[in-house]
Amino acid sequence: MNGIVFDIKRFAVHDGPGIRTTVFLKGCPLSCRWCHNPESMSAEICSFPKTVRIGDKTFTEEETIGREISVNNLMAEIRKEKIFMEESGGGVTFSGGEPLQQYEFLLEMLQACHAEGIHTAVDTSGFASWSVLEKVAQYTDLFLYDLKLIEDTAHKHLTGVSNQLILSNLQRLLESGANVRIRIPFVEGATFTDKNIDETLDFLNALAIKPEAIDLLPYHNTASHKYERMKMVNEFDGMKSLNKGELTDVRERFESAGFSVKIGG
Ligand code: SF4
């Protein structure tokens, strides 16, 4: 089976334990207004003009985003770093976009990794049917599960979809015994509000089964050039980036509630 991948990051250290290879799958059903990877939203392979400077000359060339790759060929790429994964307790992380969007390809990749003893992580928005998530969970050692906004109207407004499926999938995953790290992207003007922090803590405190840990991810305003090249509107252009120090108080609040918390991925 073939999938569409738009990037492969080697020697990643923020996408799960140890040294990892992170595979970015194309396509996402959400449209978060602060998205760092706007090139990932479309499920199709696409191309955009890219300006290249050589000396005092400027050229414009087309850059293709996404390529089709088979399970066998992607496994061959992953195997190149297997020694580093084994020695560091790392593995492979599937990210996106939303990797569950290509769930049949994802499932085959997860099965192939497990057959070779490679640790697997899936970085997901949780926006998929439970039947898909349940199948994927059988071959996923760790979920990196995004929790953006608890209030549904705000979630719809800022991500384009309701969070009801996301929240119920998270509860079901935890109850099924899956290992889950929650990831909360804190974005000034969107998710980083007292109201959302209070509601997120209330939601997590009410869970019958608690997640393994929580990562607080400060937003960095670094994707403007991508929006420009793709001629997409960047509503968060100019939005202030957050630094780790600004999340110290929030971390203390989550830790006081009994959670293991890390700032950054
Ligand atoms: S879920 Fe992730 S990839 Fe999809 S739009 Fe939101 S930030 Fe971008």
Q: What SS3 class is residue 210?
A: coil
Spatial CA neighbour of 137 closest among 98, 172, 167, 166: 172
How would residue 244 be classed by pLDDT, with cut points 50, 70 and 90?
confident
Which mutation among 125, 163, 166 tests ligand 1's pocket best, with the greatest number of atoms within 8 A of CB? 125
Query: Is residue 234's pLDDT more than 90?
Result: no
Mean pLDDT of the chain: 95
Quote the number of domains for the chain: 1
Structural domain harbouring 170:
2-263
Q: What is the CATH number of the domain that holds 216?
A: 3.20.20.70
How would residue 69 be classed by pLDDT, with cut points 50, 70 and 90?
very high
Query: What is the per-residue pLDDT for 20?
Result: 98
How would residue 23 be classed by pLDDT, with cut points 50, 70 and 90?
very high
Q: What is the largest CA-CA distance in the chain?
A: 62
The alpha carbon of 35 and the centre of ligand 1 are apart by a number of angstroms equal to 5
Q: What is the pLDDT of residues 88-143, one digit of tens each?
A: 999 999 999 999 999 999 999 999 999 999 999 999 999 999 999 999 999 999 99
Is the beta carbon of 37 within 6 A of some atom in ligand 1? yes
- Please state the pTM of the whole predicted model: 0.95
CA atoms of 158 and 211, how far apart (whole Å): 25
Query: Is residue 158's pLDDT more than 90?
Result: yes
Query: What is the per-residue pLDDT for 57?
Result: 87
How would residue 80 be classed by pLDDT, with cut points 50, 70 and 90?
very high
